[in-house]
Amino acid sequence: MRKKGLLNAHQVIFFYSKTQDFKFNTLYTDYSATTNLDQILQDRERNENGKSVYKKDENGNVVLGKEKKGVPLSDVWEIPYLNPKAKERTGYPTQKPVLLLNQILKIVTDEGDLVVDPFCGSGTTCVSAKSLKRQFIGIDISKDAVELANSRLEEMVISESNLLNKGTNEYQEKTEKELAILQNINAFLFKEIVELTDF
C-alpha cells in the first residue's frame, strides 16, 4: 500500500565546521521573473527636491544595488536528479550530480583549496573539485569505486541542467521595457553551466 504523505522531493545537507572560523562564500542566483526592478535598482538617494530617486554615478548611469550580482542563494536548491540517459551517469548506485557538488564547493572553498572526500564512491566530488580548479583527495574502500573515479577524472563529463538554465529564460516574462532597462545596466547573470568532455 502506498505510504500516506507528501512525495519526498528534497534532501537535507548538513554543514559542519570544527571552529567558528570557516569559509562561506555567498553565491548569487539570477533574478527571477517575479523580482521587481526596484529590488535590483535598490540604491537610492534624495534629489534636490528631497525626492527619493535611483542613485546615479558621475556619468548619469543608474547605480545597481548591492545585490546587483543577483539574488543571494537561499537554502532551497533545485538541482535535478541525473537523467537516466545522462552521459554523466556512471551506473554507480549512489552517484550524486556534479552540479550539486559544484554548488557546495563554490560555497565552502576557493580555487586552489584542498577538498577531501573519504567516501568518494564514483568520484563526483573529485570531478567537481577538478573542474573548479580545487585540489582534491578521494578515498574509497572499494577498488571498483576508485577505478571508476579515476576514469571519470580522465574523461570529465558534467551534464547541463535545463532546469537550472531556465532561470535566465524566465526573463522573457518581463515586459520589453523592463528587459531593456535590465540589459542596459548589465543586470543579467550568465550561468556557468557546462557540458565538458575534456580538461
Using CB under 6 A, which of the segments 2-10, 23-31, 89-97, 172-180 binds ligand SAM? 89-97
Q: Which of 41, 115, 145, 156 binds ligand SAM (CB under 6 A)?
A: 145
Least distance in angstroms from the C-beta of 148 to ligand SAM: 8
Q: Which of 27, 33, 139, 163 binds ligand SAM (CB under 6 A)?
A: 139
Is residue 8 close enough to count as binding ligand SAM by CB under 6 A? no
Is 54 or 92 the residue whose CB approaches ligand SAM more closely?
92
By the 8 A CB rule, do 164 and 78 touch?
yes
Residue from 29, 42, 95, 168 that binds ligand SAM (CB under 6 A)? 95
By beta-carbon proximity to ligand SAM, the closer residue of 70 and 123 is: 123
CA 35 from centre of chain: 18
| CB atoms inside a 10 Å sphere around CB 72 | 10
The answer to the question of residue 94 lying near ligand SAM (CB under 6 A) is yes
Residue 38 region by backbone torsions, left for phi larger than 0, else alpha for psi between -120 and 50, else beta: alpha
**Contact flag: residue 131 with ligand SAM (CB under 6 A):** no
69-72 long-range Cβ contacts below 8 angstroms, 24+ apart: 69/28, 69/189, 70/28, 70/29, 70/30, 70/31, 70/189, 71/28, 71/29, 71/30, 71/31, 71/32, 71/35, 72/26, 72/27, 72/28, 72/29
With the CA atoms of 150, 113, 73 and 42 taken in that order, what torsion angle do they form, in degrees rounded to the nearest 10? -140
Answer for which of 22, 28, 119, 199 binds ligand SAM (CB under 6 A) is 119
Among 79, 92, 146, 189, binds ligand SAM (CB under 6 A): 92
Cβ nearer to ligand SAM, comparing 142 with 168? 142
**What separation in angstroms does the CA of 167 have from each of 29, 84, 94, 138?**
8, 23, 28, 33
Contact flag: residue 138 with ligand SAM (CB under 6 A): no
Interface with ligand SAM (CB under 6 A): 92, 94-96, 118-119, 121-122, 124, 139-142, 145
